[in-house]
Amino acid sequence: MDQSDSTSGYLTGQLLVAMPAMQDPRFEKSVIYMCIHNADGAMGLIVNRALESLSFRDLLSQLELDVDEPAADIAVQYGGPVETGRGFVLHTLEYEQDGTIVVDQKVGLTATVEVLRDIAGDRGPSRAILALGYAGWGPGQLDDEIQQNAWLNVPADDGLMFDADIDSRWERAIAKIGIDVSLLSGDHGHA
């Protein structure tokens, strides 16, 4: 992320954390890594919802990828309600290919079948999230939701994004800001 992004109010490369009173059940207690946030809109991946119904091995089989026995495994996560059949791999940047979008100095986004083959063959990124679908907002939509007290933003870090403890990411993201969840309210400006 260049310096102009950090001072412009845009959240590319940061985590978006749903407030406790989030009304949309698709985003309740969500932590979203923001891949793009600019004047044209925003796109991010939910990083704290594992899909119990689909394994990496199952996905490889469904895609008819010719991999004997995957050397590496990765949890398949629900990335958001838009294009839920489309896969995205959010990963550390020691791995990069032609289709990789560099989000910031540490994280890339790759949405190719080759990255799945490389992960299965233990030639992929050292740390990665595989998500199906994404969260998307039109121009100004996310900014309006933030002003309506629906989201907080938190600096991203490797632990929050890539460690195996998916289930506690929302609580850890809130705690990283130093906020007591019990004191948060979805209401604002009311006495």
**What is the CATH classification number for the domain harbouring 69?**
3.40.1740.10
- Predicted pLDDT at 191: 39
Ranges of H-type helices in 21-147? 56-62, 113-120, 141-147
Predicted TM-score (pTM) of the model is 0.87
Distance, CA of 157 to chain centre: 12
21 within some domain: yes
Query: What's the CA gap between 125 and 16, in Å, rounded?
Result: 23
- Predicted pLDDT at 9: 58
Q: Which residues of the chain have pLDDT under 70?
A: 1-9, 70, 181-191
- Predicted pLDDT at 81: 96
Instruction: Assess contact for 109 and 100: CB atoms under 8 A.
Output: yes
- Predicted pLDDT at 184: 58
190 within some domain: no
191 within some domain: no
**Count of domains forming the chain:** 1
Among candidates 81, 85, 45, 72, which has minimal Cα distance to 169? 45
Q: Where are the beta strands (DSSP E) in 56-158?
A: 76-78, 82-92, 101-102, 107-110, 128-137, 151-155
> Both tokens of residue 135?
């969260």
62 within some domain: yes
Ranges of H-type helices in 10-155? 56-62, 113-120, 141-147
188 within some domain: no
Domain of residue 175, residue span: 3-183
101 within some domain: yes
User: Helix, strand, coil proportions of the chain in percent (round to 5)?
Assistant: 25, 30, 50
